[in-house]
Amino acid sequence: EYGSFMQPAYPKHNYDNADGSRLLLWGSFKSGKVLYDARSFKLIKALDTRAVGWGQPIDPRWDAHNPDMLYYHFSPATALSQYNVKTDQFEVIHDFIKDFPGATSITMDEEGDCSYDSRYFAFQLKAPRGGDRWAHAAVFCHDRVENKIVGRLELYNCFISQ
């Protein structure tokens, strides 16, 4: 009924929320992003597929103070969004296509994190370059409170080979 597997997110960032009451796990149930009660380990719900897709990498980060709020990116792939897990309300905070025309996506590649107060987010920006639709084109820091980019470094002829 709840899928065949569950596992914590990549362990370089917290998979428990601000007050330790919920866990966000990856699994094979509904959207693949599943919320559990951290004390009883009982399923609460799967996140809404309209917000997070199914099995898509969304780089979710819990808010440092609000135990109901997640920050992530999914659709559009160039936007930072927020999701209230209590109300299932979600919205785009900022779409970086306005700042980087032609960008294809933003990512933290599971390695990055937001600041301890959940105000600043560092992202890699991917954009077409030299025939590669997903080339690393820039790194930048976004201030979520002021809703603006506070630092950026554009990468020229910088390709990461797999």
Q: What span, in angstroms and rounded, lies between the C-alpha atoms of 105 and 86? A: 27
Instruction: Report pLDDT digits (tens) over 24-78.
Output: 887 766 667 888 899 998 889 888 887 877 666 778 889 999 999 999 888 888 9
Instruction: Report pLDDT digits (tens) over 1-22.
Output: 555 566 666 666 778 899 999 9
Looking at residue 159, what is its pLDDT? 35
Looking at residue 113, what is its pLDDT? 80
* Bridge partners of residue 124, in order along the sequence: 107, 139
Contact assessment for residue 79 and residue 73, using Cβ atoms and an 8 Å cutoff: yes
Instruction: Report pLDDT digits (tens) over 97-150.
Output: 999 888 899 988 767 788 999 999 999 998 887 777 778 888 999 999 999 999
pTM for the whole thing?
A: 0.84
Looking at residue 94, what is its pLDDT? 96
Instruction: Give percent above pLDDT 90 in the chain.
Output: 40
| One-character DSSP codes across the chain | ---S-EEEPPTTS--B-TTS-EEEEEESSTTSEEEEETTT--EEEEPPHHHH-SS-----EE-SS-TTEEEE--SSTTEEEEEETTTTEEEEEEETTTTSTT--EEE-TTT--B-TTS-EEEEEEEEEETTEEEEEEEEEEEETTTTEEEEEEE-SS-----
